[in-house]
């Protein structure tokens, strides 16, 4: 074990090199104006082949997507054979990133890694390249030292996580037989600054796009119209109040209750003196797993009907995202094995938590694959000046070595 840890300690420059390479290839989904992960996957494959992995260890899976120039959304599976093939240990990181947002808020070029004060700055360096790089160097520690892990290790570098995983893990689940029920699954895509929390559950996610249709009129004659903006505002408050309907609490999560938040609003009219005849807004709902989305949607229907009757408008909505999944049992093998690795390497007593955010963990759990989300990070994903701490890459890599061993 000490030889493997020494390799990781001596690999800082190569870790920075890989982070820099990955960041220089913006892997944005077409929904975000990008061309997907093709160039980034190719650059990563080339780096892996030049730094110790063989072509036989790397298999690429392409999900068809006509919206991108390459016509495909790639995911890579890297296999390191173990002493036993009874089950495999998976580490799953995603290749795609989110847009930079307001460029004026960045202090550096988001597509060029800058190292400062032990941190790497750039879009994607934490989300999710930190987990990717940690996994790569944990695997390399075994390869470079001629040591076989106790069980076969499989690294999955996925497409399309940031906008729903349709062309990533969902496609892989539907179109391959890669995954086995008794395998261990770790997703390094969330965590805390100490690396002591293991995420075993996610709130159910419901995104709504709500359209209210009334009747446009002059601002001085509301009696001649039906104010869609007013009705939409009232409806957003009705939907927000569903947190008092679905009001159970669960200390596994923070916050420990279901949330129903109005978020994005679309432009309606172009003049202050025009009462809008149409108004559209979105809701981001994160619901405790004890409630089904079917239950929630039945209440959404009641809220919509109430507003239609009160304001004389028509309401329709579409679901932009729906995701619900069971929790990973806290006594499952992957939780026990990861807890032991964290304790042995860092002396920390890990604890299990749930989160309101979404990861590919929900997709796996829904299909019957217990998994955990874990990493050591400050959680600055999607923010301007996103960064990761280099020491955390090394710490997590050592924890993965212990997990593989």
Instruction: Say whether 242 sits in a helix, a strand or coil.
Output: helix
Geometric angle at alpha carbon 204, from 200 and 208, rounded to 5°: 150
Characterise 161 by phi-psi region: left (phi > 0), alpha (psi -120 to 50), beta (else): alpha
- Alpha-carbon distance values, 3 to 142, 157, 340, 354 (Å): 9, 26, 20, 35
Catalytic residue (choose from 38, 65, 126, 161): 161
Characterise 288 by phi-psi region: left (phi > 0), alpha (psi -120 to 50), beta (else): beta
Strand 114-116 versus strand 119-121 pairing type: antiparallel
Q: What distance in Å separates the CA atoms of residue 64 and residue 68, rounded to the nearest whole number? A: 9
- Give the orientation angle of helix 12-23 with respect to helix 129-144, to 10 degrees: 140
How many CB atoms within 10 Å of residue 172?
23
DSSP state of 125: T
- Give the orientation angle of helix 129-144 with respect to helix 390-404, to 10 degrees: 50
User: Is 177 among the catalytic positions?
Assistant: no
Catalytic residue (choose from 65, 96, 278, 279): 96
Closest-CA residue to 197 (of 394, 330, 92): 330
User: Is 256 among the catalytic positions?
Assistant: no
Positions annotated as catalytic residues are 96, 161
């Amino acid at each position: 074990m000490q030889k493997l840890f020494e390799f990781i300690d001596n690999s800082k420059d190569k870790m920075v090199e890989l982070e820099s390479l990955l960041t220089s290839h913006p892997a944005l989904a077409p929904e975000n104006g990008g061309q997907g992960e093709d160039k980034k996957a190719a650059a990563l494959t080339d780096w892996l082949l030049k730094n110790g992995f063989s072509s036989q260890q790397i298999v690429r899976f392409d999900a068809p997507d006509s919206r991108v120039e390459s016509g495909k959304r790639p995911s890579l599976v890297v296999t390191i054979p173990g002493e036993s093939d009874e089950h495999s240990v998976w580490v799953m990181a995603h290749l795609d990133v989110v847009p930079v947002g307001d460029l004026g808020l960045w202090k550096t070029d988001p597509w060029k890694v800058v190292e400062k004060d032990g941190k790497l700055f750039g879009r994607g360096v934490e989300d999710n390249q930190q987990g990717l790089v940690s996994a790569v160097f944990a695997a390399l520690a075994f390869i470079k030292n001629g040591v076989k892990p106790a069980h076969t290790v499989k690294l999955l570098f996925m497409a399309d996580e940031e906008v729903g995983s349709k062309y990533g893990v969902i496609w892989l689940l539907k179109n391959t037989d890669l995954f086995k029920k008794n395998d261990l699954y770790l997703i390094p895509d969330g965590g805390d600054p100490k690396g002591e929390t293991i995420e075993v559950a996610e709130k159910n996610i419901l995104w709504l796009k709500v359209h209210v249709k009334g009747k446009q009129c002059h601002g001085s004659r509301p009696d001649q119209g039906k104010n869609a903006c007013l009705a939409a505002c009232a409806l957003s408050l009705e939907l927000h109040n569903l947190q008092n309907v679905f009001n159970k609490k669960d200390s596994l999560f923070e916050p420990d209750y279901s949330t129903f938040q109005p978020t994005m609003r679309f432009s309606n009219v172009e003049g202050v003196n025009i009462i809008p005849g149409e108004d559209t807004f979105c809701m981001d709902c994160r619901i405790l797993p004890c409630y089904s989305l079917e239950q929630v949607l039945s209440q959404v229907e009641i809220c919509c009907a109430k507003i239609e009757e009160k304001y004389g408008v028509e309401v329709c909505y579409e679901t932009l995202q729906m995701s619900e999944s069971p929790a990973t049992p806290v006594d499952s093998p992957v939780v026990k094995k990861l807890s032991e690795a964290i304790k042995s390497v860092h002396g920390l007593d890990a604890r299990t938590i749930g989160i309101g955010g979404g990861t590919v963990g929900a997709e796996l759990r829904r299909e019957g694959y217990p998994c955990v989300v874990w990493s050591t990070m400050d959680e600055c994903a999607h923010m301007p000046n996103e960064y990761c701490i280099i020491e955390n890459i090394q710490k997590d890599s050592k924890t993965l070595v212990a997990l593989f061993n």
